[in-house]
Amino acid sequence: MQFNWTYEQTEPQLLRTFLKGKGLSKGLLAKIKFQGGTIRVNQQIENVLYQVKNGDQIAVTIPDEAPHETMLLDDQPLEIVFEDDHLLVVEKPAGVASIPAQYHPNGTMANRVKAYYVKQGYQDQVIHIVTRLDRDTSGLMLFAKHGFAHAMMDQELRKKQVSKKYFALVGGKVAQLAQHGEIEAPISRNRNSLMQRQVAAEGRYALTEYWCLAHDDEKALVDIQLHTGRTHQIRVHFAYLGTPLLGDDMYGGDVTQGITRQALHCHQLRFRHPFTQEDLNFESPLPPDMAAVATEIER
């Protein structure tokens, strides 16, 4: 894949410095050097110590990424929300993991995406997950289609320029929920569990913002904005409030309301496209299991 830029500064600059400013990491530059890529200035191959000058035309060709042979193919349907040469946004159903594990090497979103890449005949077939979801959380997932796009999106994540919003159904002390509130409580691993997290003073800073959209005496529909990305953050924070997610038996959620998994759905994904600079906003409606309970609340 080739990327092109024009150098438009009056003062000369090292090509390495210019490319770093465009998001090419030291590792990616090494890959270009040793795995078949090229860096050209005005159609001539140059190394990164070349001094670029105003008006120079820079073209970088990044080598294709061969697939990981151990990644199996899963030809299950893939619901694509958006795709271009750099990014892929898909709908993840509940009950499907994001990535393979030792004892579950297939049946994940990564396996499905690889099968899709192979079917389409794409040259880059390495799976780059930008935003991951728990197995029982549904909604929008973002993949980068090559390593450079992944690096650029990672920068946006670190700068908190990727916005994810979730719908959740919660139970318990719903009358205590504010119409608009924040949960600011540190999260750490529960030492008595391999999976579970908890609010604890020694934990890492975590902030969740929410809006209560509707509620009755037993349950509520909330819209959630994550400001940090801790493991199980939403589930832990709402359990801490005394309003655990419906169906979330790990954190004390009510399993009698017709929801058989944690009632959590990533419904909005917003970010700036790293190459076109277009502001992108994707929306996903409530899935049927959550929609049925939400309709009961609104009656």
Return the pLDDT at 66. 83
What's the pLDDT score for residue 69? 83
Q: What is the mean pLDDT of residues 62-75?
A: 90
In the CATH scheme, what architecture does the domain 64-159 have?
2-Layer Sandwich (3.30)
**Residue 103 confidence (pLDDT) above 90:** no
What is the tens place of the pLDDT at every residue in 110-129? 999 999 999 999 999 999 99
Q: Which candidate in 134, 136, 216, 248 is catalytic? A: 134
Whether residue 196 contacts residue 250, with contact meaning beta carbons closer than 8 Å, is answered with yes
**pLDDT at residue 56 in the model:** 96
- CA 120 – CA 145 distance, rounded (Å): 13
CATH of range 164-266+292-298; options 3.60.15.10, 1.10.287.130, 3.40.50.300, 3.30.2350.10: 3.30.2350.10
Residue 104 has a pLDDT of 86
Q: Please give the share of the chain, as a percent, with pLDDT higher than 70.
A: 99
Domains 2-61 and 164-266+292-298 share a fold: no
Tell me the fold of 2-61.
3.10.290
User: What value does the mean pLDDT of the chain take?
Assistant: 95
Instruction: Name the residue ranges covered by the structural domains of the chain.
Output: 2-61, 64-159, 164-266+292-298
pLDDT (0 to 100) of residue 73? 95
pLDDT at 102 over 90: no
The whole-model pTM stands at 0.93
Mean pLDDT value of segment 127-135: 96
Three-class SS of residue 53?
Answer: coil
Q: pLDDT grade, residue 299 (50/70/90)?
A: low
Mark whether 134 is an active-site residue: yes
DSSP reduced 3-state for 105: coil
pLDDT-derived band at 298, boundaries 50, 70, 90: low
pLDDT at 68: 82
pLDDT of 88 strictly over 70: yes
Contact 152, 275 (CB under 8 A): yes
- Residue 260: how many other CB atoms lie within 10 Å: 14
Q: Which residue has the higher pLDDT, 299 or 66?
A: 66
Cα separation, 230 vs 26, whole angstroms: 28
Q: Which long-range contacts (CB under 8 A, 24 or more apart) does 289-293 make?
A: 289/94, 289/258, 289/259, 289/260, 289/261, 289/263, 290/138, 290/167, 290/169, 290/259, 290/263, 290/265, 292/258, 293/169, 293/219, 293/246, 293/257, 293/258, 293/259, 293/263
* pLDDT confidence of residue 261: 96
pLDDT in tens, 219-266: 999 999 999 999 999 999 999 999 999 999 999 999 999 999 999 999
